[in-house]
Amino acid sequence: MSENTTCACTSTKAAVEYLNSVEYKEKNFARKALSINPAKACQPLGALLCALGIEGCLPFVHGSQGCAAYFRNTLNRHFREPIPTVSDSMTEDSAVFGGQNNLIEGLKNAYQVYKPSMMAVFTTCMAEVIGDDLNAFINNARAAESIPKDFPIAFAQTPSFVGSHITGFDNMLKALLQSLADTRHGKWTNGRLYLVPGFDTYPGNLREYKKLVRAMGIPLTVLPDAEEAMDAPHTGEYNMYPKGTTMAELADALNASGFIFTQKFSTSGTYKFVKNVQKINTEMVTMPIGIKNTDNFLMALSEMTGKPIPAELEKERGRAVDSATDAHQYIHGKRFAMFGDPDLLLGLTGFLLEMGGIPVHIVCTNGTEAFRKELQKVLDGSPFGKEATVHTGRDLWHLRSLLMTEPVDMLLGDSHGKFDAKDANIPLVRIGFPIVDRVNMHRSPIVGYEGAINLVTMIANTFMEQTDRTCPDRFFELLR
Ligand code: SF4
């Protein structure tokens, strides 16, 4: 080999070193027009999850078939459940002439073949770019008798080039209330509390909310309740329309005695509609991840309804505190990076801080300035929050640069983080959506006291497992 020739492995090594350098990180953070592996999905995916929570509802995608396949696949791989959704399969001709014919024909077929009790229609990029008017098209479909005149349909415009899946969830939920909820009967209420979980992909969380609220003796409706759609029992028979929020409960929603929202950023429009327009007794709490956030959730419930917190929940809290105390030495002082949706990160940060963990890099692709400020307030409230930087609008390639130049001990986030974690040689604890390379993670709650115990278990055991796997023989011990 001549002196001037560089072998492939040397140049690859140099390239990797450069990619891992501070110099490259600065270049990476200077990029403006390119997004690499953003930690978010598009609006219609969120609208679809919302629609799945209404019993008897068929989600209907006004747009291209490939988009519908992407939503179905992503949700299906996370939940390992079939995701019933239809699309009116817009193609090139609809892009030129508009998608009205597709919608009229699609509604007719969906109504006749799948016999839903209602449909939730939402759009993809193509329909939005050409400016399809869903309201007019659906009225024309009724006039053309493709569906009965009084067939219930809610529709939401969900343009994917703004916002993310959490915006789509919010738009669909607000549309469901605006289209299908009856007008509020003055001061009369139905005595029920409506709990809005937001874009929550843990059926275990919905079960946990129901358990906590019912333990307090509060009549409850979860809106939307996709628990069974996300986690149907195996009975040998496929039920296309599992249990969820009933249409009667949706119709009566604006007569609720109160609403409690457990995610601020995935339901902000619906929250404003319920609180400011409908003037319903409404509370918004941080996602109850960790002990303090769960305390705040239960206190808010108690203040809203006048119901005391029962002894069984106090005991459950005691068990969560005990589990945190037993495991604090494995988490205290450890440095963490995290990524995911704004509400998840707000809750998780609170949990980590109360465990003495040190959040260092927090990446939120779909986070706004309002989110950044709110999270900063949480971080400023703890001595363990001083080292953290909140990166909104950044993606997982930015996160990689952060991990390579300012190392941490663990990454928290969904399955997409496994590549960054591998490069940085740190463990990834899978929290969030989607989790497509592990099983059953969505079935255990991460909210409530039970959720706090689960998080402590996952994080502490992962550290101990890593120690066992990597320590020198002389430190390989029975006790950890
Ligand atoms: S971003 Fe647009 S084109 Fe891509 S899946 Fe979402 S709706 Fe379809």
- Say yes or no to pLDDT of 296 above 70: yes
Whether 154 and 121 have beta carbons less than 8 Å apart is answered as yes
Whole-number Cα distances in Å, 458 to 85, 417, 446: 34, 16, 10
Q: Kindly report the protein residue whose alpha carbon is nearest to atom 4 of ligand 1.
A: 67
- Which mutation among 62, 67, 158 tests ligand 1's pocket best, with the greatest number of atoms within 8 A of CB? 67
For residue 404, which of 416, 385, 419 has the smallest C-alpha distance? Answer: 419
- Which mutation among 87, 160, 161, 366 tests ligand 1's pocket best, with the greatest number of atoms within 8 A of CB? 160
- Distance of alpha carbon 290 from alpha carbon 277, whole angstroms: 32
Mean pLDDT of 263-284: 97
Q: Give the distance (Å) from ligand 1 centre to CA of residue 125.
A: 6
Q: Kindly report the protein residue whose alpha carbon is nearest to atom 8 of ligand 1.
A: 67
Q: Give the distance (Å) from ligand 1 centre to CA of residue 128.
A: 11
Q: Where are the alpha helices (DSSP H) in 203-275?
A: 203-215, 227-230, 247-251, 268-272
- Say yes or no to pLDDT of 12 above 90: no
Q: Kindly report the protein residue whose alpha carbon is nearest to atom 2 of ligand 1.
A: 125
- Say yes or no to pLDDT of 34 above 90: yes
Q: For the segment 101-120, what is each residue's pLDDT rounded down to a tens digit?
A: 999 999 999 999 999 999 99
- Distance of alpha carbon 411 from alpha carbon 424, whole angstroms: 10
The domain ranges of the chain are: 43-180, 193-313, 328-474
End-to-end CA distance of the chain: 52
Domain 328-474: CATH class, spelled out: alpha beta
pTM of the prediction?
0.96
Q: Give the distance (Å) from ligand 1 centre to CA of residue 66.
A: 8
Whole-number Cα distances in Å, 158 to 126, 169, 341: 11, 9, 18
**Considering the domain 43-180 in this protein, what is its CATH number?**
3.40.50.1980
Q: Kindly report the protein residue whose alpha carbon is nearest to atom 3 of ligand 1.
A: 125
Which residues are annotated as catalytic?
Answer: 125, 129
Q: For the segment 276-290, what is each residue's pLDDT rounded down to a tens digit?
A: 999 999 999 999 999
Instruction: Quote the CATH superfamily of domain 193-313.
Output: Nitrogenase molybdenum iron protein domain (3.40.50.1980)
- Say yes or no to pLDDT of 5 above 70: no
Q: For the segment 394-427, what is each residue's pLDDT rounded down to a tens digit?
A: 999 999 999 999 999 999 999 999 999 999 999 9
- Say yes or no to pLDDT of 294 above 50: yes
Note the pLDDT of residue 186. 86
Q: What rounded mean pLDDT belongs to the chain?
A: 96
- Say yes or no to pLDDT of 3 above 60: no
Are 193-313 and 328-474 equal in CATH topology? yes
Q: Give the distance (Å) from ligand 1 centre to CA of residue 80.
A: 22
- Say yes or no to pLDDT of 4 above 80: no
Residues with CB under 6 Å of ligand 1 are 42, 44, 67, 70, 124-125, 160
pLDDT band at residue 1 under the 50/70/90 scheme: very low
Note the pLDDT of residue 6. 61
